[in-house]
Chain A
Amino acid sequence: MEEPEKLVCDGIARGYVPPEVLSISPRLRLYSSSSATEVDPITYEVIRNTLLNINLEHGQTIQKLSISPITMIVRDFQCAILTEVGDVMCLGPYLLYLGNMLALITKWILENRSDEPGIQDGDVFLCNDPYVGTSHQQDTGLTSPVFWEGELFCWVANSVHYSDVGGPVPGSFCLASEDIRQDPPCFPPMKLAEAGKLRVDVEQLFLRQSRLPSTVDMDLHAAIAGLNLARERIIKLIQRYGPEIVKAVIDEVMDAGERAVVEKLQMIPDGRWSERVYTEVSVPGDRGIYVSQINIVKEGEYLYVDNEGTSPQVGAINNTYAGLAGGVLAPLTIMLGYDLAGTSGGLYRRVKFRPVFGTITCADFPAPISTAGVYNMPMVVATATGAVAKMIACADSPLREKAIGMADVHAYGGWIFNGINQHGQFFVGMSAGMATGALPASPVRDGVDTGGLFWVPGMEASNVEENEMAWPVLTLYRRENAAGAAGAGKFRSGLGAEEAWILHGTEQMDVHVYMDESFVKNQGMMGGNPGGRAFFKVKRSTDVNQMLANGSIPQNYDELKGEEEKTFFKGPPIVLKRGDIWCTNLPNFAGFGDPLRRDPELVAKDLADGKLTVHEAQIVYGLVLATDGSVDVDGTSAYRESRYLKRLGTIAKSPLKSSS
């Protein structure tokens, strides 16, 4: 075995990090533009707009034709147009961290497959290997070259979450895996289609691993249909305008995006910003606490990102370099690239990674990766969001107003379960607890209640009726959270949501993945409260069926009689039975600023809207009401003053200090 320091970032021993200049076989002819090509500003805009629409259509095709809710509703997928050397030109309004992964896979193929077996017109490569460039094995990438007259012109690619890609656990999230060989299989890039023809042997190889081959097959063909559509439309565009012009537009879109980002970087002072997020339990039974840290150094017109301070890789809580880079680029796309409409390639050029390998957020082979989709990836995005938001909040106006607090850390995916549904079919369900989302607070305004998760911009929650049609469950209630302490601040977070369920139409169901945090993982922003704690609560042998028979639908989990199951973060699988009730949530996210600085009228509005109790308005926000229920302005000021004084009077200076 090699020494760790000798490991190279080849996508085999350690996560693939592409070099600045790729090593591509001379057998593959690349179309390269002559820099002299002038495009008039009008043609430029027409072609730019068409390319964005082609990519959107690619995404809409996947969304329409796929059948797993995680793809068609939750938009856990991504699609992109990439340059001939695999740089992202534009990505869709879907799961943002997948964008750069498509670049990594494509670049790896260029370096490792351009000689043997070669890259041809009509090829489609399939890859789910996290060390090459996926977030976890379920997020399988397809990438396909677009050729013009024998030369590689550009690529179209997508990544889709496939419901089950094998491995020991239904849904393929292997919580107990301590080695990637206990995970679902990894396929480095191989040809799913060759010269325009589907390779049934490779298709069969991929489907053979799955517990849901039919579902995965439909989704795979939805993904292929998306690629075909995008490829054909780009060819038509080239036919119409000529390759020089289209290529010049692609290059210019990237350059323009880069200039836009540089202009924003000039509004940010140089410096260093960090965020630290804690996670827990590396495999079931472990009691450890682990750290994810992201540090951003802004120097001149570049950002340098590292993960120093992060725990060494351990158990089943790892992601590869692909996850680290993608997770950092996602919040940057929203806070620095918000006006680029997804043409993020220019932004990517300004971000340099200096990863610390062998850590949970940049693990080396053979660390298992399959659970990253629900644990590590949102955690990396959250950690990066915290660091980016603090940096942006130090920028000049109006950029500083674009800062967004930390969103979800671990609730992503909510819970994953399987069984036999009311129609007698085996199913694997993934309930996206996060899908209603919430926009966290920013330095200038409140977040948006159930306003969606910002790093999956097109995401949507399924209807309760759709869930009840697909799975043997009944939703007792689904409602917005209260605006209490969770996510409080001068500007508060948008509110998440909570849902309570019982079985219906079946006798039992297995839950393999559920999120019951032992402690809150979210971090508040600039003195704001952290978001809430994600939970998964189960009560056994309740009287719920009796209550239903008596004509009453329970509306408060906590008031229901029954035996509270002691749940743990990454506890053992739970078998739900008739008479059990369980409750899941998407907590509120980060608040901004000291809650005592919140405009009393905004507090009063939440009170009036029934989103806050009088008690919490007082405790959390220091609000005092007059006898007629209106805000007592003077009383509130005086009371808040007393709260500040109390802080000064009772708190001793802590002996702890920051590290040097």
Chain B
Amino acid sequence: MGYYIGLDGGGTFTDCVAMDSDGQIRFAKAPTTTENFSDGMFDALTALAEEWGITLSDLITSTERFSLGTTVGTNLLVERKGARTGLLTTAGHGDAILMMRGSGRITGLDPELYYHPQATDKPEPLVPKNLIREVNERVDCEGEVVVPLNMQEVEDAVRSLVEDQGVEAIAVSFLWSFRRPDHELEAMRIINRIAPNVYVSCSHKVAPRMGEYERTVATVINSYVAQKTAIYFAGAAERLKEAGFNHPLLVMQVTGGILPVKAALEVPLTSLGSGPVGGLMGSAALANQLGHSNVIATDMGGTSFEVGLIVDGEPLVSDENVVSQYRYKQLQLQTTSIACGGGSVAYLAPYSRSIRVGPQSAGANPGPVCYRRGGTEPTVTDADVVLGLISADTFLGGKMPLDRDAAVRAMENLGRQVGLSAEEAAAGILKINNAKAAELIRQQTVIRGYDPRDFMLFAYGGAGPLHAFAYASELGVKGVVIPLGNGASTLSAYGSASSNLVRFFEKEQLFRYPFPLEELNGLINKLEAEAHGALTEMGRAPEDISLERFAQMRYSGQWLHSLLRKLPGGVYGQAEMGQIVDEFKATYDALYGSGAGRVSQGVELFSVRIRATAYLRRPEQAFHIKKESRIDEAARLGHRTIVWPDDIEKVSSEVFDGRYLRFGNRVTGPAVVELPHTSVAVGKGQTLSCDVLGNMVLDL
């Protein structure tokens, strides 16, 4: 028997999933150990082996593939625990990363804070001024050298950074290096020669995009997290090897693919924040098997609500990310998040006698009032408890009894101030929270020209399955899937287990319509050859490799807007070019109104992107074949009075233990299905059924 394991670590829990050669899957989790990650990882693997009824050693030695997703890089950054990093940049431009384009004070913050300057500040610098060195070199916008690189200055700067300042890593970011990387490459050679132990990354490699600020940030973060990320991966690989695993460890990437550690470490930044991406990839893999081509993937946890879209079977890709108010350019699967989750705090809005929810969160500490950790402000989770959607006794499988009375008192206190009962206030909090979630989804779909009614909504994360019944029905989606049912909280791990090898090869180069075809075809050829070569180098057979072409297009002058267009294969002539441009214009008008794009304004194609995928073979996930219409008595936990938020009416609702629900079982709302790490609420008139893959499907 062979196993295919996916593991997601770095959050509160280390989650893992294994599929065997027969396509059966099992999940397990264990608390993350921050001191030594591998300990928690092996705790989780031990639990996983128990699920299969085998020894840890048997599990590891018979594992065929092991892929790992992690938030370690994000943690390093947020906690400022990365390497002491120096920055080498073009003379005259060392302040760019400090000036943050004048918008670092508010980047990524709630727009309400924009009007309140005294409540905002810039973040701590990633690289302090004394670790920034400028050298003489200059390239212009056409990629022509204006001033050659002064190698002596590079050497002096590196010596000063390494010997005087003790930097462990260096980021090299020169102006226009994405047009001509020679100077950055030369600087890297010099650094490697005189300081071979210092980690170096170059901006043309990490983020080859126009805009020196965002490119520099990406490169600095990359250098900042690189070594510790490498140690983390090496530690995991080493422990696995000792335990008898003899394949390369694979690492989840924000691009939605996995890569061997060696390739992943070429740009460690692409492993940063692969957690949410794992959830999205897990959704995509399940959706693919279920035949859903359009999915809204929603992850509601304690503090945030993340949304990603899968359109025509493909997760959408974005170019930008924000961490700690630093914005950078990077290709990654698009996820958008707002502060909206179980821990979001409800409070009295000053002056208007109404209730607001968030963006402040009680987090895990003190947490909701009902957690008994000293929290005094009612949260969304408290509202769930007051209404009865969460049972105070069976929360987290009964491991953490909640203080319902305290939650009720806090809710009464809030409600009194606006003339509402505790239950009315609690119902209101859910409505507001759900409306915010629905609003984010609406923005992510409708504004991009997608109709939510064409989508299935996947709900996971600690608070997603409990609230989806409401936020999903706001949008009129086709239905809701609680992916993997019982395994919904391990979806990220499932995602890394089910991903393929993916690499992007991209070049930003401006082509104005009419495109110089020879140049464009040449660029595509070159990138495709590079892509193909890289995957064959990883040992993939040519027949397993697929290449797809994309282009970013815009109207001339639109720096903040572009449409990503999938391009046809083959060599382009006049006819293909005309078609590409016509389709761009048609899409633009469909999105922004007929005539929004002006014919007089030129069209530009400014970046060519090749996605190279090597499909990995894995067993088909086993279908549950035997349909059970009768619900196992073990699943029936009796009835509980729940106040459903829509009509604030007390209804006796049946409660189920989700672990005992089987394919074919059907639960009619109002009901709650409890799972060890979350619960699924089934509203009145809704039904929940279990499908062939172990997902729970909520019909609205």
Binding site for B on A (CB under 8 A): 40-42, 44-46, 48-50, 52-53, 56-57, 61, 63-69, 72-73, 93, 198, 213-215, 217-218, 221-222, 224-225, 228-229, 252-253, 255-257, 259-260, 263, 333-334, 337-342, 401-402, 404, 422-423, 435-437, 439, 442, 444-445, 448-454, 457-466, 468-470, 474-480, 497, 500, 504-505, 548, 551-553, 555, 609-610
Instruction: Please list 6 pairs of residues, one from A and one from B, whose beta carbons are closer than 8 Å in the complex, sorted by A's number.
Output: A42-B428, A218-B557, A229-B447, A259-B352, A449-B99, A548-B147
User: CB distance A465 to B211 under 8 Å?
Assistant: yes
8 pairs of A and B residues whose beta carbons are closest in the complex: A477-B92, A67-B557, A256-B352, A42-B428, A93-B114, A436-B102, A41-B354, A457-B114
Residue from B99, B101, B354 within 8 A of A480 (CB atoms): B99
Q: Which of B453-461, B590-598, B617-625 contacts A (4 or more CB under 8 A)?
A: B590-598
User: CB distance B111 to A93 under 8 Å?
Assistant: yes
User: CB distance A45 to B94 under 8 Å?
Assistant: no
| Chain A residues whose CB sits within 8 angstroms of the CB of B418 once the complex forms | 41
Q: A449-B122, A497-B95 are in contact. List 7 more A-B contacts (CB 8 A).
A: A46-B431, A49-B436, A263-B351, A548-B147, A552-B136, A609-B128, A609-B129
Taken together as a complex, chains A and B put the C-alpha atoms of A198 and B596 apart, in Å, by 11
Say whether, besides A41-B353, A45-B355, A553-B92, A214 and B598 are in contact (CB < 8 Å). Answer: yes
Binding site for A on B (CB under 8 A): 90-96, 98-106, 111-112, 114-122, 128-130, 134, 136, 138, 140-142, 146-148, 150, 175-176, 210-214, 349-357, 418-420, 427-428, 431-432, 435-436, 439, 443, 447, 510, 512, 555-561, 592-593, 595-598, 600-601
User: CB distance A465 to B102 under 8 Å?
Assistant: no
How far, in Å, is B443 (CB) from chain A's closest CB?
A: 7
| Chain B residues whose CB sits within 8 angstroms of the CB of A49 once the complex forms | 432, 435-436, 439
Taken together as a complex, chains A and B put the C-alpha atoms of A228 and B601 apart, in Å, by 21
| Chain A residues whose CB sits within 8 angstroms of the CB of B447 once the complex forms | 57, 229
Taken together as a complex, chains A and B put the C-alpha atoms of A342 and B112 apart, in Å, by 8
How far, in Å, is A257 (CB) from chain B's closest CB?
A: 7
Residue from A68, A448, A464, A468 within 8 A of B96 (CB atoms): A464
Taken together as a complex, chains A and B put the C-alpha atoms of A229 and B354 apart, in Å, by 28
Taken together as a complex, chains A and B put the C-alpha atoms of A137 and B431 apart, in Å, by 45
* Nearest B residue to A495, CB-CB: B99
Taken together as a complex, chains A and B put the C-alpha atoms of A553 and B351 apart, in Å, by 57
Taken together as a complex, chains A and B put the C-alpha atoms of A214 and B31 apart, in Å, by 59
User: CB distance A452 to B352 under 8 Å?
Assistant: no
| Chain A residues whose CB sits within 8 angstroms of the CB of B92 once the complex forms | 475-479, 500, 553, 555
| Chain A residues whose CB sits within 8 angstroms of the CB of B150 once the complex forms | 551-552
Say whether, besides A56-B111, A93-B114, A450 and B141 are in contact (CB < 8 Å). Answer: no
Taken together as a complex, chains A and B put the C-alpha atoms of A390 and B661 apart, in Å, by 68
How far, in Å, is B537 (CB) from chain A's closest CB?
A: 32
| Chain A CB within 10 Å, residue with most, of B102, B130, B510 | B102
| Chain A residues whose CB sits within 8 angstroms of the CB of B354 once the complex forms | 41-42, 44-45, 48
User: CB distance A225 to B596 under 8 Å?
Assistant: yes
User: CB distance B600 to A213 under 8 Å?
Assistant: yes
Taken together as a complex, chains A and B put the C-alpha atoms of A466 and B557 apart, in Å, by 10
* Nearest B residue to A40, CB-CB: B428
How far, in Å, is B545 (CB) from chain A's closest CB?
A: 34
| Chain B residues whose CB sits within 8 angstroms of the CB of A337 once the complex forms | 115
Residue from A40, A56, A73 within 8 A of B559 (CB atoms): A73
| Chain A CB within 10 Å, residue with most, of B100, B351, B420 | B351
Taken together as a complex, chains A and B put the C-alpha atoms of A225 and B130 apart, in Å, by 47
| Chain A residues whose CB sits within 8 angstroms of the CB of B146 once the complex forms | 474, 504, 548
* Nearest B residue to A224, CB-CB: B593
Residue from A252, A454, A478 within 8 A of B95 (CB atoms): A478
User: CB distance A553 to B91 under 8 Å?
Assistant: yes
| Chain B residues whose CB sits within 8 angstroms of the CB of A256 once the complex forms | 349, 351-352
Taken together as a complex, chains A and B put the C-alpha atoms of A423 and B511 apart, in Å, by 12
Taken together as a complex, chains A and B put the C-alpha atoms of A46 and B419 apart, in Å, by 18
Residue from B427, B432, B561 within 8 A of A65 (CB atoms): B561
Residue from A56, A57, A198, A461 within 8 A of B99 (CB atoms): A461
Residue from B106, B130, B141, B432 within 8 A of A469 (CB atoms): B141
| Chain B residues whose CB sits within 8 angstroms of the CB of A464 once the complex forms | 93, 96, 175, 212
Taken together as a complex, chains A and B put the C-alpha atoms of A48 and B106 apart, in Å, by 22
User: CB distance B432 to A45 under 8 Å?
Assistant: yes
Taken together as a complex, chains A and B put the C-alpha atoms of A444 and B121 apart, in Å, by 14
User: CB distance A65 to B596 under 8 Å?
Assistant: yes
Say whether, besides A46-B431, A73-B559, A263-B351, A334 and B593 are in contact (CB < 8 Å). Answer: no
Taken together as a complex, chains A and B put the C-alpha atoms of A228 and B592 apart, in Å, by 9
Say whether, besides A44-B354, A341-B115, A451-B105, A218 and B559 are in contact (CB < 8 Å). Answer: no
User: CB distance B558 to A65 under 8 Å?
Assistant: yes
User: CB distance B116 to A474 under 8 Å?
Assistant: no
How far, in Å, is A507 (CB) from chain B's closest CB?
A: 16
* Nearest A residue to B130, CB-CB: A610
How far, in Å, is B438 (CB) from chain A's closest CB?
A: 9
* Nearest B residue to A549, CB-CB: B147
Taken together as a complex, chains A and B put the C-alpha atoms of A69 and B101 apart, in Å, by 14
How far, in Å, is A197 (CB) from chain B's closest CB?
A: 11
User: CB distance A477 to B116 under 8 Å?
Assistant: no
User: CB distance B436 to A435 under 8 Å?
Assistant: no
| Chain B residues whose CB sits within 8 angstroms of the CB of A459 once the complex forms | 102-103
Say whether, besides A214-B598, A465-B176, A609-B129, A259 and B117 are in contact (CB < 8 Å). Answer: no
How far, in Å, is A405 (CB) from chain B's closest CB?
A: 11
Taken together as a complex, chains A and B put the C-alpha atoms of A393 and B524 apart, in Å, by 62
| Chain A CB within 10 Å, residue with most, of B134, B150, B350, B559 | B559
Taken together as a complex, chains A and B put the C-alpha atoms of A497 and B100 apart, in Å, by 12
User: CB distance A504 to B140 under 8 Å?
Assistant: yes
Taken together as a complex, chains A and B put the C-alpha atoms of A252 and B349 apart, in Å, by 13
Taken together as a complex, chains A and B put the C-alpha atoms of A609 and B105 apart, in Å, by 19
Taken together as a complex, chains A and B put the C-alpha atoms of A427 and B336 apart, in Å, by 36
Residue from B93, B114, B431 within 8 A of A458 (CB atoms): B114
User: CB distance A41 to B560 under 8 Å?
Assistant: no
| Chain A residues whose CB sits within 8 angstroms of the CB of B104 once the complex forms | 450-451
User: CB distance B95 to A221 under 8 Å?
Assistant: no
How far, in Å, is B322 (CB) from chain A's closest CB?
A: 13
How far, in Å, is B577 (CB) from chain A's closest CB?
A: 20
Taken together as a complex, chains A and B put the C-alpha atoms of A460 and B92 apart, in Å, by 20
Taken together as a complex, chains A and B put the C-alpha atoms of A303 and B392 apart, in Å, by 53
| Chain A residues whose CB sits within 8 angstroms of the CB of B510 once the complex forms | 469
How far, in Å, is B351 (CB) from chain A's closest CB?
A: 4
Residue from B106, B349, B353, B420 within 8 A of A452 (CB atoms): B106
Taken together as a complex, chains A and B put the C-alpha atoms of A113 and B120 apart, in Å, by 44
Say whether, besides A225-B596, A439-B117, A461 and B102 are in contact (CB < 8 Å). Answer: yes
Taken together as a complex, chains A and B put the C-alpha atoms of A437 and B115 apart, in Å, by 15
| Chain A residues whose CB sits within 8 angstroms of the CB of B121 once the complex forms | 448, 451
| Chain A residues whose CB sits within 8 angstroms of the CB of B592 once the complex forms | 61, 65, 221, 225
Taken together as a complex, chains A and B put the C-alpha atoms of A257 and B418 apart, in Å, by 17
Residue from A67, A475, A548 within 8 A of B601 (CB atoms): A67
Taken together as a complex, chains A and B put the C-alpha atoms of A551 and B153 apart, in Å, by 11
Taken together as a complex, chains A and B put the C-alpha atoms of A289 and B176 apart, in Å, by 45
| Chain B residues whose CB sits within 8 angstroms of the CB of A475 once the complex forms | 92-93
User: CB distance B211 to A57 under 8 Å?
Assistant: no
How far, in Å, is B659 (CB) from chain A's closest CB?
A: 35
Residue from B99, B101, B428 within 8 A of A41 (CB atoms): B428
Taken together as a complex, chains A and B put the C-alpha atoms of A567 and B425 apart, in Å, by 66
User: CB distance B117 to A404 under 8 Å?
Assistant: yes
| Chain B residues whose CB sits within 8 angstroms of the CB of A548 once the complex forms | 138, 146-147
Taken together as a complex, chains A and B put the C-alpha atoms of A213 and B600 apart, in Å, by 9
How far, in Å, is A212 (CB) from chain B's closest CB?
A: 10
| Chain A residues whose CB sits within 8 angstroms of the CB of B601 once the complex forms | 67, 214-215, 217-218
Taken together as a complex, chains A and B put the C-alpha atoms of A26 and B106 apart, in Å, by 46
User: CB distance B212 to A465 under 8 Å?
Assistant: yes
User: CB distance A480 to B98 under 8 Å?
Assistant: yes
Taken together as a complex, chains A and B put the C-alpha atoms of A252 and B213 apart, in Å, by 42
| Chain B residues whose CB sits within 8 angstroms of the CB of A610 once the complex forms | 129-130
Say whether, besides A452-B106, A552-B136, A46 and B432 are in contact (CB < 8 Å). Answer: yes
User: CB distance B101 to A53 under 8 Å?
Assistant: no
